[in-house]
Structure 1
Amino acid sequence: MALSVELHKKFKGFQMDVAFEHDGGSLGILGGSGMGKSMTLKMIAGLVKPDSGKVIVDGRIVYDSAAKIDIPARERHIGYLFQQYALFPTMTVTENIGIAMKKSGDAKKKEIDRLLEQFALQSLGDRMPNELSGGQQQRVALARILSSEPQMLLLDEPFSALDSFLKEQLLEDMIRQLSDYAGDVIMVSHSRDEIYQFCDRLLILDQGRVIVTGDTKDIFDQPGYREAARLTGCKNITEAIKIAENSIEVPHWHCTLEMDETVADDIHAVGIRAHYIDVLTEKPENMKNVIGVTVENVSELPFEWYCFFRVPNGERIWWKVAKVGEHGAAKYLPQKGAHVYLHMPPQSIILLK
């Protein structure tokens, strides 16, 4: 199914200009707080009216400001899963699932029973929403949406209200439950892990605009833009200046980095993910991309250590190492105050616009 979106809306101190196309599968929208993620879904669904633009779902125009077309939300055949699920509090699980169903009589009962079984809710049909856990409420809400046979599903931060353990379990459940769904799925999240696991394609919003879109794994590997790198979890990002075809000067790290690839003229920053940095006790001869630093702080977490290094008269560089070995000891863990060297392999350096 094809989706074409062009949305423009002005808020106080903020302008949204979002345009993208999506053709099948699951699309993730990633962005910081207040960047327009949820608002994009609401305008696609018809819950909020844009100032101008166009939304086309599978060839059907559901909104076109120029042609004065604005199909009501209930007629767009788009399912919307709210952050708080929005179950009807005075209806049972069975009644909630059946409320939007197009079928009636025995066919309706049979379909409700099928959905109760699909979402492992067979024993909860007579319960009220306030008697359910957060995970159970989410499954009911998703079953209710699918009961209306929508052409598209919009998931608005569906795991934001859940604890981390339950979140991981329900994400796997949702991936399994939607594996047979024929329509497109768009999920908004501020969690890069959720997006990476769930979505084939990724769109990143910044300041109400699309800055990059493409295959999810490709964008995580090469985000292309500084803000996209930050949102995909890169913590070491700094200014850079191209000085030769394969070289960049990094002022705040007081070094020059040599690349295996040609550096484009519009590159103004570099990044490297914390787990790709090699920490060395001595500086090897003839090794490129090595920076001398001081260990500023070491923090222990349950399954890994975080280390902060300081470039003399420069910026911090963040590094992490997993705990390994029989007793949870890392192969090498620098101590606070030590002077060490950081090697940044060329293939692990991210060039950023």
Structure 2
Amino acid sequence: MALSVDITKHLDGFDLHVSFDVDKSNEVLALLGPSGCGKSMTLKCIAGVVQPDRGRIVLNNRVLFDSETHLNLPPQERHVGYLFQNYALFPHMTVMQNVLVGAVGQTRSEREASARKQLEKVQLEGLFDRRPSELSGGQQQRCAMARILVSEPELILLDEPFSALDGYLRWQLELELNDTLRAFPGGAVYVSHNRDEVYRLCNSVCVIDRGMSDKKVPVKELFSAPATLAAALISGCKNVSRAHATGEKTLACSDWGIELQTALPIRGEVQYVGLRAHYFTVLDGVSESENVIPCEVDRVIDNTFSTIVMARTPKGALLRYECSKESWAARGDSKRILLHIAPEHVMPLVESTAKEEISHA
């Protein structure tokens, strides 16, 4: 399995420039970013629904698009399955007819057998004659996935597949999709702005910010050591300060008025530092430990399953600290606290790795 994407597309307000690859079977690559950053447009370019302005797309040594040679394969020749946000089922067709649209086979009986097999896999047996309007949201998604799989694609594209679903049904379908992707012999590109979905379903991730893609990294690395400001924010980091390196492992955090030691590699010219709210600990009494921040408690917020403490740093900026309800209750009515952050959780950040790559291209 090998997908290589390096394309540019002019959009209203910004240029989309993305570069990434999917280089092994069963790899599920997430395109993670805020709404409007170009994630869905990237999928449309890979599928052949939209033509990029420049660049090249290659799937398993087959060139799908190349602006230099003016090659642009139509969608039906790309061997790519595309799960749209709204599933794109034909409303006038039955479940079976919708799936037969994508079925591969020499004869109708072969195609029907293949369609029936996929529909049974997604638990839609007994619903073959229903129309999409007679299905629940979850059943519609299963029908759309069966239509993709019956076409025997080399690559699956998924555009926010759970955006129209809520609660328990969303979780059940996520479990089913996870099983489907693990069993699929090819690769997948998964678009989302939900960090938790990405962590559970994907094994690599490429952050897209204002049309620019960061380097692809293993999904766990995005959360343990994000390289860029955009990656830290989209992965849920709540505390960010402007910063610069004053030593090999020392960062001066200008917004907080403190210096912190980091155990993470410093890549390029550091411009920010990030601290995740749940990695703080509160020390009792005076400590000689590094990375201790004396704070005044500004407010305490009772969250659904945790307590959020907004603590004011020596320079007056607020830090967000999250802990269990029980641990904060045990501290009583604390007005001053000593927050400690371990060096391995101090994240040095640059503005964008993508901008660096383009400037040296």
TM-score range, shorter chain: over 0.9
The correspondence for 1:119, drawn from 113, 118, 122, is 122
2:354 corresponds to: none
* CA distance, structure 2, for counterparts of residue 322 and residue 213 of structure 1: 33
2:344 corresponds, among 344, 347, 350, to 347
Aligned equivalents of 1:260, 1:197: Cα separation in 2: 26
Counterparts of 1:339 and 1:183, CA distance in 2: 54
- For 1:321, the equivalent position in structure 2 comes to 323
Tell me the distance in 2 between the aligned counterparts of 1:98 and 1:265: 53
Residue 21 in structure 1 maps to residue 21 in structure 2: yes
Conservation of the 8 A alpha-carbon contact between 1:298 and 1:336: no
Q: In structure 2, what is the equivalent of residue 43 of structure 1?
A: 45
Distance 1:265 1:160, change over 3 A: closer
**Displacement after TM superposition at 1:233 (Å):** 1.1
Q: Which residue does the alignment assign to 2:242?
A: 239
C-alpha separation in 2, matches of 1:138 and 1:227 = 31
Q: Tell me, what secondary structure is at the counterpart of 1:179?
A: helix
- From 288, 291, 299, give the equivalent of 1:289: 291
Partner of 1:159: 162
Tell me what 1:301 maps to: 303
Deviation, structure 1 residue 331: 5.8
C-alpha displacement of 1:199: 1.0
Q: CA separation in 2, counterparts of 1:21 and 1:258?
A: 34
Structure-2 separation of matches of 1:273 and 1:85 = 36
Gaps spanning 5+ residues in structure 1: where? 324-328
SS at match of 2:92: coil
Equivalents in 2 of 1:291, 1:220: separation in Å?
23
Task: State the Cα deviation string for residues 61-100 of structure 1 (Å, max 9, x = none).
Answer: 1111111111111221111100011111111111111122
Give the whole-Å Cα distance in 2 for the aligned partners of 1:334 and 1:274. Answer: 18
Measure the CA separation in 2 of the matches of 1:261 and 1:179: 32
Distance 1:261 1:135, change over 3 A: closer
1:271 aligns with 2:282: no
Could you say which residue in structure 1 is the equivalent of 2:63?
61
Distance 1:162 1:227 in 2: 27
Report the Cα distance in structure 2 between the residues aligned to 1:233 and 1:175, rounded to whole angstroms: 23
Letter in 2 for 1:351: P
Cα separation, partners in 2 of 1:336 and 1:96, compared to 1, 3 Å: farther
**Pairing of 1:149-298 with structure 2 (within 5 A):** 149-260=152-263, 263=266, 266-284=269-287, 286-298=288-300
Give the stretch that moved more between structures: 137-146 or 99-108: 99-108
The alpha-carbon distance between structure 1 residues 296 and 336, as it changes in their structure 2 partners (threshold 3 A), is farther
- Give the 5 Å matches for 1:29-108: 29-103=31-105, 104-108=107-111
Between the aligned partners of 2:198 and 2:112, the Cα distance in structure 1 is: 35
The one-letter code of the counterpart of 1:253 is W
Q: Deviations over 1:271-329 (max 9, x none)?
A: 11111101235332x12211111222222233222221122443211121234xxxxx3
Displacement of 1:55:
0.8
Identity of aligned residues (%): 39
Number of residue pairs the alignment of both structures matches:
347
TM-score by length of 2: 0.91
Structure 2 match to 1:326: none
- Indicate the larger mover: 39-48 or 210-219: 210-219
Question: Which letter maps to 2:116?
Answer: D
Counterpart contact for 1:6–1:18, Cα < 8 Å: yes
Shift of 1:351: 1.4
Q: Which moved more, 1:213-222 or 1:329-338?
A: 329-338
CA-based RMSD of the aligned residues comes to: 1.9
**Which stretch shows the higher mean deviation, 117-126 or 107-116?**
107-116
| Residue aligned with 2:227, SS | coil
CA contact (8 A) 2:261 2:346 kept: no
In structure 2, C-alpha distance between the alignment counterparts of 1:254 and 1:345, rounded to whole Å:
18
Shifted more, 289-298 versus 33-42: the winner is 289-298
SS at match of 1:212: coil
Letter in 1 for 2:12: K
Aligned residues of 1:242 and 1:265 also touching (Cα < 8 A): no
1:184 Cα deviation (Å)?
1.1
Which deviates the most, 329-338 or 298-307? 329-338
CA contact (8 A) 1:238 1:271 kept: yes
Inter-partner Cα distance in structure 2 for 1:51 and 1:17: 10
Q: Any stretches of 5+ residues in structure 2 without a counterpart?
A: 351-361
Alpha-carbon distance change, 157 to 292 in structure 1, aligned in 2, over 3 angstroms: same
- Distance, in Å, in 1 between the alignment partners of 2:12 and 2:344 is 43
2-side partners of 1:264 and 1:195: how far apart?
A: 24
Determine the C-alpha separation between the residues in 1 that align with 2:176 and 2:298.
42
